[in-house]
A and B are shown apart, each in its own frame.
Chain A
């Protein structure tokens, strides 16, 4: 219990815990950990409410059946688990973001997901789950986001505000 109330854990302990969690996913769900395809399922569902004919005509959305799968609930779980960890650790919830920060997050999120879907996976599905299987796809993704991210940060992001 003391451990759960500690604000933060060692990054090595957290990495090892995520590694063991990936064994659990492979053993029980027969699937690796991943996040970004759940967003496509959400879109397939929302667009299905408004324009079902369009979803049927778009193969990328039409193939997302069943809409609510293991990974979709995994994403809901991530939000709940982070909330529980933050509350137990006494973290305060964030302040109101500035207009500039909102624009940055909206645009960043938009292109983040486009990049993830072009690459067929994000930091979880390609970066961790792909790399741990020693997949060529995973390591190319991991090394490219690191290199391009470092170059971007050093050029444009001197301070985090």
Chain B
């Protein structure tokens, strides 16, 4: 029923920090998330891209040192594409993604409580559809747990360098435009 208690406490601590950061980053605010999709407020992009770059560079460095292993999800491209096509519009109407909905609910935003109920019902509905989904959407296109460096032969360092440059210039341009 339960994983060992120390591991559960570790999860609780990790989650506490995650929720704390999300709230301080304003991404548990529905207006900020919808503002991102309206291309008016780039807070969500700034948080996500910085997390991806700082997280990724550190994780690949620890991988090279032999401290960690990657946990890459398989590239079932059709199911990921279809799932994301449902997820994106649903995120606009709910105004949160799963993590930020939990954060918003925790801080007392009542609309997010209804969102969590809807999410739980959605998980129950999906459980009934999983077998069909695997047959129709996962099996047709399965490239396995592949990363961009493996797929292209371009090393991870080059990917990160390119992404850092893109993020740097793009966000600098956005922030300067916002100032003027």
Contact = CB atoms under 8 A, between A and B. Distances in A.
Interface in A72-131: 72-87, 89, 91, 93-97, 101-102, 104-131
Interface string A28-46: 1111110110011011101
A19 B53 contact: yes
A92 to B, nearest CB: 9
Contacts of A150: 37-39
B66 interface: no
Contacts of B100: 123
B84 A77 contact: no
Given A72-B11, A78-B99, A133 B109 contact: no
Q: How large is the interface on B (under 10, 10 to 19, 20 to 34, 35 or more residues)?
A: 35 or more
Contacts, number: 488
Contact of B147 (A42, A128, A134): A134
B19 A80 contact: yes
Contacts of B126: 40, 60, 113-114, 117-118
A132 B56 contact: yes
B54 A78 contact: no
B107 A85 contact: yes
Contacts of A35: 98-99, 102
A154 B35 CA distance: 10
B98 A29 contact: no
B34 interface: yes
Contacts of B85: 115, 144, 148
Q: How large is the interface on A (under 10, 10 to 19, 20 to 34, 35 or more residues)?
A: 35 or more
B18 A78 contact: yes
A118 B48 CA distance: 22
A118 B74 contact: no
A130 B148 CA distance: 11
B118 A106 contact: yes
A81 to B, nearest CB: 3
A157 to B, nearest CB: 6
Name the residue in A67, A69, A77 with the highest tally of chain B Cβ atoms < 10 Å from its Cβ.
A77
A53 interface: no
Name the residue in B14, B51, B93, B94 with the highest tally of chain A Cβ atoms < 10 Å from its Cβ.
B51
Given A68-B1, A93-B107, A160-B35, A25 B14 contact: yes
The 3 lowest CB-CB distance pairs between A and B, nearest first, are A77-B15, A15-B50, A109-B118
26 contacts: A11-B46, A12-B46, A14-B27, A16-B51, A18-B55, A27-B68, A29-B7, A29-B10, A43-B120, A69-B7, A73-B8, A78-B22, A78-B102, A79-B105, A81-B23, A86-B107, A93-B107, A96-B110, A101-B111, A109-B101, A117-B126, A127-B48, A133-B147, A140-B75, A140-B77, A150-B38
